[in-house]
Amino acid sequence: MRAGRMMSLLLLLRNRGKMSAARLAAELGVTARTVPVTSRRYSN
């Protein structure tokens, strides 16, 4: 599930450009707090 969420996040950013954490969260159906946690988890 987490990898799928990250792929969705990356595709949203790639297709739509810069987006706020709140907007990404709304698109992914998660809280705004989840977005930075997910992106940091896969950044290295």
Query: What is the per-residue pLDDT for 42?
Result: 59
Query: What is the per-residue pLDDT for 43?
Result: 58
In terms of residue numbers, what domain contains 10? 2-41
Query: What is the per-residue pLDDT for 11?
Result: 93
Query: What is the per-residue pLDDT for 15?
Result: 93
The count of other CB atoms within 10 Å of the CB of residue 35 is 22
Q: Give the rounded distance of the alpha carbon of 38 from its chain centre.
A: 7
How far, in Å, CA of 9 to CA of 27, rounded?
Answer: 9
How far, in Å, CA of 29 to CA of 44, rounded?
Answer: 24
Number of domains in the chain: 1
Where the chain has pLDDT below 50, the residues are none
